[in-house]
Every structure is written in structure tokens, then in C-alpha cells.
């Protein structure tokens, strides 16, 4: 179990390292190179359509993995396919030479990435024991902010060509995937489980059924709001540095690395505490609530930042909120799963709550900028999303038993 958990944590980190720098550094720079005057529109349009594909593919692949039967297990074949497709999708992004090609390249990347992410998320509910959920959830919560910090550092200090950056990301992802896929087998359930799941997954109304559970609806809705706030902050951070803060340096990527590094240090501090006391943390909802409140306050501070020093302080607070919410996010999701048979489908629905914001945020950005708003307006919108999550999380009820174990 220890070897499996270590390999799983590494794989989760590598997956996000393969994502975060693409959307935070490479894609914005590529959009700016295509047309500096329309970079926000080009990036937002590509992100919007890519997110729609991400949501659909995550759900479909998650459901397909529920009913997959092979000597390699249910999830591992799809994870392997997803890794290969993700690396191949980097080529499409690198070769895109027009706004249209760029949009299709982002769509292809989202399809490939979510072919990997859907079954990987389901592994948590499949194989992490209830007693370890808070601890492993806290460690998984480090994956995205650590990926942002690692990815930003790689972009600032590693190869400065787009091809070189993609090669580094691909090598990191492939190495972690080989370790994970070869480290341990995947125990499979009875064959009848796959057949029953296949029928339920695609039956009329089956995708609505999980929302009849109060806790599933609360966790899904709060995750949607939190992820939308994250999308506003992360997707447009490079533009925030150059436009709102008036960055005059030659390399805004380095200040981007500084901000994400400071934020990650805060995430580490908070997550370490949650991981250390994981077994004693029963009310994960309370930790998530505190995180949402801090995120709301921090983005308000970011929206009024007038200089780099103030932004650094605000991002330190933002990291604390990320750490608190992210450390219990996976645990809350697993707690709220209505059934054990359809974990892949239901985790796919949960991941839809993360994919949709990648469409919501760019669409909102297009509307806000068209009506005279600027990048600061996007950060005010982010604080509103986090405030909404605070309200929704207050409706969560502690489950009396765990249906997914």
C-alpha cells in the first residue's frame, strides 16, 4: 500500500505539472505571439471550447473506465492512453500558427488530458482507505499548487523555447506514469460490477441521479465555484502582472514564478498541518469553509493591489486558502459519492465541476472586457465565486456512513 500511495501521489503531481504551465505560461504567450492586440480574446475562446470538451470527455471516460475489464484493471489502461495522448497533444499546441489552429489544439489537449485525469481521480475512491482519506487528500491537495510552482520555475529557469518547454513537461509526465503503472497491480472487483455499472452509467437520467444526494450536490456546487475562482486567478495572472501591476521588466514569467512560489509556501504550511493531524480531522467541511473564506479575502486584496509587494502579500494569503480547501477536497468528494459501483462516473461528474470553470471564466472574461472591464474586474469576480462557495459549503451534512467503501 505504501508503494502504491507514493506512486499515486507522484502521478497526480506529474499530471498537473503537465497541465498548469500549459495554461498559465505557454498558452498565454502563444496567444500573445499570434496577435498581441487580441491575446485575451484568442486565449479565452480557445479555453472556452476546450473546457466544454474537457467536461464531456472526463465524464465519458470515467464512465467507460467503470465498465472496463482487462488483466491490467479498469483504470490503468485509460491512464496509459491518456498519458500518450497528452504528450502527442503538445505537438499540436506547438505547431498552431493561427487562432483557429490554436483553438483546435487546446481542444485536443483537453480531450487527451481528461482521458488521463478521469480514471486517475477514480483511483482515489477505489483504493484509498477511509482512515487515510484526510491525510492523502491533504497530500493530493498539494499537487496543483506544487505543479504551479514547479511548472512556473521550469518555465522561468528551464528551456526558453516553446518546444523545449513541452519536451520537459512530456518527459516529466512519462517518467511518473511509468513508475505508477509498473509499481503495483490494480485489484479488480467482480465481473458483475462492471456489467451493472455499464447499464446504469448510460441509462436515461443516470447522470442526474447523483444530484439527488444533498452532499453530492453541495460538494459539486462548491467545487464549481472554487474552481471558477481559481480559473480567473490563474489563467489571467500573467496578464494581471503585465497590465494591472504595470510590470516593466523583461521577464514577467519570473515575477509569476515568485508569486506562485510564495503562494505555494503558504499551501505547504497549511497542508502540512492537515496531513499531520489527518486522522483526527473528521469534519472536513469546516476546513474547507475556512479555506473558502480566506480565498475570498485574498482575491479582494489582489484586486486592489497597486504594486508587486502588496501582490506578494495577497498571494501568500491566497495560498493559505488554497491549502485549507485543497487539503480536504478529495476527501469531501469521496465522502459524498452516492454509490461504490459508479465511482468513475461520479468522480467524472465531480471533475466536470472543475472543467466547466475553464469555459465559464473565459466566457465571463470576454463579456467583462467587452463591457469595459479590465483584468482587475476578473479578480473581483473570483472573490464573488469564493464567497458563493462559503454559502454552499454551509449546507453540507456529515455522512453517517461511507457508501463508497
Digit-coded pLDDT (tens) for 323-359: 888 888 877 777 777 766 666 677 777 777 877 777 7
* Cα 302 from Cα 296, distance rounded (Å): 10
CA distance 181 to 249: 43
**Residue 192 — pLDDT band, cuts 50, 70, 90?**
very low
pLDDT at 195 over 70: no
Q: How far is CA 70 from CA 21, 66, 181, 184, 185, in A?
A: 34, 12, 14, 15, 12
Q: What's the rounded Cα separation, in Å, for the pair 7 and 119? A: 15
Q: Per mean pLDDT, which range of 75-89, 297-311, 369-383 is the poorest?
A: 369-383
Based on DSSP, count helices (H) and strands (E) in the chain, helices before strands: 18, 0
Domains annotated for the chain, with CATH where assigned, are 2-393 (1.20.1250.20)
**pLDDT score for 207:** 66
Q: Are 350 and 360 contacting, i.e. CB atoms less than 8 angstroms apart?
A: no
Which is it for the CA torsion 351, 352, 356, 357, positive or negative? negative
Question: What pLDDT score does 191 carry?
Answer: 41
Whether residue 290 has pLDDT greater than 70: yes
Instruction: Give the pLDDT confidence score for residue 147 in this predicted structure.
Output: 79
Average pLDDT over residues 201-206: 51
Instruction: Answer whether residue 111 shows pLDDT above 60.
Output: yes
C-alpha cell at 56: 464531456
CA distances (Å), origin 281, targets 8, 126, 132, 250, 288: 22, 21, 10, 46, 12
For the chain, the farthest-separated pair of C-alpha atoms sits apart, in whole angstroms, at 62
Task: Of 255, 289, 291, give the one whose Cα is nearest residue 271.
Answer: 291
Q: What is the DSSP letter of 24?
A: I
Q: What is the pLDDT of residue 304?
A: 87
Residue 105, pLDDT > 90, answer yes
How far apart CA 289 and CA 15 sit, in angstroms, is 27
Query: For residue 104, what pLDDT is reported?
Result: 95
DSSP state of 330: H
- 223-247: pLDDT as tens digits: 899 989 988 888 788 888 887 777 6
- pLDDT, position 158: 77
pLDDT at res. 204: 42
Give the pLDDT score at 340.
63
CB 55 within 8 A of CB 231: no
Lowest mean pLDDT: which of 29-43, 176-190, 378-392?
A: 176-190
Q: Of the given ranges (48-52, 78-82, 283-287), which has the lowest mean pLDDT?
A: 283-287
Q: How confident is the model at residue 279 (pLDDT cuts 50, 70, 90)?
A: low
Q: The whole model's pTM is what?
A: 0.68
Q: Which three cell numbers stand for residue 78?
A: 485509460
Decide if 221 contacts 354 (C-beta within 8 A). Answer: no
Q: What is the mean pLDDT of the chain?
A: 80
Residue 292, pLDDT > 90, answer yes
355 and 114 Cβ atoms separated by less than 8 Å: yes
- Mapped onto helix, strand or coil, the DSSP state of residue 403 is coil
Q: Is the pLDDT of residue 102 over 90?
A: yes
- 118, 75 Cβ separation under 8 angstroms: no
Confidence of residue 280 (pLDDT cuts 50, 70, 90): low
Quick one: 368 exposed, middle or buried, by C-beta within 10 A (0-12, 13-18, 19+)?
middle
- Tens digits of residue pLDDT in 117-139: 888 888 877 777 766 766 777 77
- CA torsion sign for 170, 85, 180, 275 is positive
- pLDDT band at 108, cuts 50/70/90? very high
Amino acid at each position: 500500500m505504501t508503494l502504491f500511495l507514493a506512486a499515486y501521489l507522484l502521478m497526480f503531481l506529474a499530471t498537473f505539472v503537465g497541465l498548469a504551465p500549459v495554461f498559465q505560461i505557454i498558452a498565454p504567450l502563444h496567444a500573445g505571439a499570434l496577435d498581441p492586440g487580441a491575446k485575451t480574446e484568442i486565449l479565452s475562446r480557445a479555453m472556452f471550447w476546450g473546457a466544454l470538451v474537457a467536461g464531456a470527455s472526463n465524464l465519458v471516460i470515467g464512465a467507460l473506465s467503470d465498465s472496463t475489464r482487462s488483466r491490467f484493471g479498469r483504470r490503468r489502461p485509460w491512464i496509459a492512453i491518456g498519458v500518450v495522448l497528452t504528450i502527442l497533444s503538445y505537438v499540436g499546441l506547438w505547431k498552431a500558427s493561427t487562432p483557429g489552429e490554436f483553438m483546435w489544439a487546446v481542444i485536443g489537449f483537453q480531450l487527451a488530458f481528461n482521458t488521463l485525469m478521469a480514471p486517475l481521480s477514480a483511483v482515489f475512491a477505489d483504493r484509498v482507505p477511509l482512515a487515510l482519506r484526510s491525510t492523502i487528500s491533504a497530500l493530493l491537495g498539494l499537487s496543483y499548487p506544487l505543479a504551479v510552482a514547479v511548472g512556473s520555475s521550469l518555465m522561468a529557469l528551464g528551456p526558453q523555447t516553446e518546444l523545449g518547454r513541452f519536451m520537459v513537461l512530456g518527459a516529466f509526465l512519462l517518467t511518473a506514469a511509468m513508475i505508477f503503472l509498473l509499481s503495483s497491480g490494480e485489484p479488480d472487483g467482480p465481473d458483475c460490477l462492471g456489467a451493472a455499472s455499464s447499464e446504469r452509467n448510460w441509462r436515461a437520467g443516470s447522470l442526474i441521479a447523483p444530484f439527488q444526494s444533498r452532499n453530492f450536490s453541495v460538494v459539486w456546487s462548491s467545487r464549481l465555484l472554487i474552481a471558477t475562482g481559481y480559473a480567473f486567478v490563474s489563467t489571467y495572472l500573467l496578464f494581471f502582472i503585465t497590465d494591472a501591476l504595470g510590470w516593466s521588466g523583461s521577464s514577467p514569467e519570473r515575477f509569476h514564478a515568485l508569486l506562485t512560489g510564495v503562494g505555494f509556501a503558504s499551501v505547504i504550511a497549511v497542508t502540512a498541518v492537515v496531513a499531520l493531524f489527518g486522522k483526527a480531522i473528521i469534519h472536513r467541511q469546516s476546513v474547507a469553509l475556512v479555506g473558502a473564506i480566506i480565498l475570498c479575502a485574498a482575491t479582494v486584496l489582489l484586486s486592489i493591489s497597486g504594486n508587486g509587494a502588496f501582490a506578494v502579500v495577497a498571494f501568500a494569503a491566497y495560498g493559505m486558502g488554497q491549502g485549507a480547501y485543497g487539503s480536504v477536497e478529495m476527501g469531501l468528494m469521496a465522502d459524498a459519492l452516492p454509490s461504490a459501483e459508479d465511482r468513475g462516473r461520479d468522480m467524472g461528474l465531480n471533475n466536470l465541476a472543475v472543467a466547466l470553470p475553464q469555459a465559464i471564466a473565459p466566457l465571463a472574461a470576454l463579456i467583462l472586457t467587452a463591457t469595459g472591464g479590465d483584468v482587475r474586474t476578473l479578480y473581483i469576480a473570483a472573490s464573488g465565486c469564493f464567497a458563493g462557495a462559503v454559502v454552499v459549503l454551509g449546507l453540507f451534512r456529515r455522512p453517517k456512513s461511507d457508501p463508497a467503501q
